[in-house]
Structure 1
Amino acid sequence: MPRVIFFTAATLNGFIADEQHSLDWLFATPGGEGGDADFQGFLEGVGVLVQGSSTYEWVLRHEDLLAHPEKWPGYYGSRPTFVFTTRALPPVPGADVRFVRGDVEATWPHIAEAAGDRDVWLVGGGDLAGQFADAGLLDEIRVSVAPATLPAGQPLLPRRIGADRLTLLGVRQAGAFAELTYSLDRSAS
């Protein structure tokens, strides 16, 4: 079974996006525009991406992907991307984007099949990661903490997950970021 990894960036005070679901704060942070060699190694192990509609829409706007679909591989490669949404969204021409509705447990068999023996990257947002945690499907949380704060915004993980379920696996410096990696005990959900 593939591992599900929520790998994201957050501000020092725990927000992954601002109040308008924008990630502009991240790309204004030195080193926030791309991953280092460790991130590239992480991507090599990823078979499928999963994201919420706000994350998908922000990437569409930020990269103007409907007008420039050739930029999609630079973001995600040829990996299938599952987008959880409750509304109709435009697909990126030529990209393997699969729009899904409803419960993460119902969609999990399709995600797992598409991932094969590789990991699932849960790109965002925090509530979607929380739904995976609630369903006992989240294995790891990797957070790159940025040297920035926001007065308000979208929280990293709007759920109560106790220390009895989280084990610190690693801490490292990635430029101006501090990366924290935790395993999540699925059996305690």
Structure 2
Amino acid sequence: MPNIVYIATSLDGFIADKNNQIDWLHDVPNPEGSDFGFAAFMDRVDALIMGRNTLEIVLNFGIDWPYSKPVFVLSNTLKKVPEGLEGKVFLVNGELSELVQSLNQKGFEKLYIDGGKTIQSFLQKDLIDELIITTIPILLGGGIPLFSELSAPLKFKHVGCERLADHMVKNTFIRTR
């Protein structure tokens, strides 16, 4: 029942720039239009958990809803699922470990954890089992960091490395307990 992070960061560890934008992700040359393994990753998971901010970023992509799996949005302020996403997006809140347990009991055992604050909260509760981090060769100099303070170190084992499009490196880490 793994909780998995799949995310891209800048060389200096930011997932969005100082203006909360991710346009820099699209500056990487991709002449073949590769998804760099994202579809294969999505085949591994049963559902997504993201925060309200990440939901808003996805909604502003200007594309059709990109997920075929259920998306559970953590929010204490959002009161209604965005129009047209009923049955695809579900609002949740509460203690993270209880949420994960509840979703697991409903058959959502492999969870994709997405979004800066959500990932940080899951790490603070030691609820992440796998990190898949693609590093983009750019220094942003500030923005939204992937990681924040932890109450104790969390150890991971490096289990994979893949060079993508001669520009990026995707590393996979498994939590050791």
TM-score with structure 2 setting the length = 0.85
Structure 2, gaps ≥5 residues long = none
Q: Deviations over 1:29-83 (max 9, x none)?
A: 224x8622x332211111101111111111111226xxxxxx11xx211x11011
Corresponding residue of 1:67: none
1:113 and 1:7 mapped to 2: Cα distance? 23
**Contact 1:21–1:54 (CA under 8 A) maintained in structure 2:** no
Matched, 1:178 2:169: yes
Matched, 1:155 2:135: no
Corresponding residue of 2:54: 55
**Contact 1:47–1:116 (CA under 8 A) maintained in structure 2:** yes
- Counterpart code for 1:178: V
Shift of 1:149: 1.8
Corresponding residue of 1:8: 7
Corresponding residue of 1:101: 93
Name the SS for the 1:128 alignment partner. Answer: helix
Of 63, 77, 80, which aligns to 1:87? 77
1:48 and 1:96 mapped to 2: Cα distance? 10
**Contact 1:84–1:99 (CA under 8 A) maintained in structure 2:** yes
TM-score with structure 1 setting the length = 0.80
Shift of 1:114: 4.4
Structure 1, gaps ≥5 residues long = 65-70
Name the SS for the 2:46 alignment partner. Answer: strand
Shift of 1:106: 2.7
Higher share of residues assigned helix: 1
Q: CA RMSD in A?
A: 2.1
Shift of 1:102: 3.0
Change (3 A) 1:116 1:53: closer
